[in-house]
Amino acid sequence: MFLAFGVTEYVLLALALISFICLLVVFFLYLRKKLLQRFALLRYFYPIIRKTAVYYDFYLINQLEISVGLNDSIFIDHLIFGDKYIYLVSDFVFKGTLSGKSQDSKWILRTKKGEEIMIDSPVYKNRELVQRLSLRTALDQTTFIAVTLVSKDTKITDLEVNDPQNYIIDTRDFMKLILKIESRNIRPLNSEELKKRVHEIDALNLRRNRGRKWPKKM
């Protein structure tokens, strides 16, 4: 049989088997990552987001994809419509310590193993999301509060990047943050106008209409 197939054929067969096994491993790791992300969303973020919206009787829209130009969309994890502000909330699962500055587009994630990984700054990305959503909806940027929500596995105590319109915070402090912001001495949003805006923004949600997959976080 060795002579019938020849050395070349055996080498090619071995390479094919190795490639197939590698593909299986990659697929398994990808599926595992997606399941872990889904588990994290259900465990860390969705309960506190929904609890806050229900507790304060706020409107809530989850997972929006909104067109902002030809073949261009923005993706938003949650929009919470408060009495005084609209909160654009993004979920991130980082395991380690984050370091960076508010104006930096890239931050460093130091893992528990001591590795340093360059990542896109979630605060910077949220600021851009607010700008683009403001242009798309014709709502003033000051109407929005950007919130980057991270799990308890993320150390952010050394970060000094928060400003009155843009925050990064642990899930455990989310409701307290919303209460603090909503207590600001400003006039509440018009309730009828707010309700109208909720329906208008919900109608823009392409993901609901197209059933498109949610993009992975980088």
pLDDT digits (tens, 9 = 90+) for 205-215: 987 765 444 44
SS3 sequence of 156-188: CCCCCCCECCEEEEEHHHHHHHHHHHHCCCCCC
- The average pLDDT across 169-196 equals 93
Percent of the chain with pLDDT over 90: 53
Least confident of 55-64, 152-161, 197-206: 152-161
Cα separation values, 210 from 58, 90, 201, Å: 26, 21, 16
Residue 43's pLDDT is 64
Quick: pLDDT tens for 95-121.
899 998 888 999 999 988 889 999 999
pLDDT tens digits along 35-68: 455 555 556 788 889 999 999 999 999 989 999 8
Q: What is the mean pLDDT of the chain?
A: 83
Specify whether the CB–CB gap between 118 and 99 falls below 8 A: no
Task: Read off the pLDDT band of 153 (50, 70, 90).
Answer: confident
Q: What is the DSSP string of 190-210?
A: PHHHHHHHHHHHHHTBHHHHH
Residue (of 166, 182, 24, 22) closest to 90 by Cα position? 166
* pTM exceeds 0.85, yes or no: no
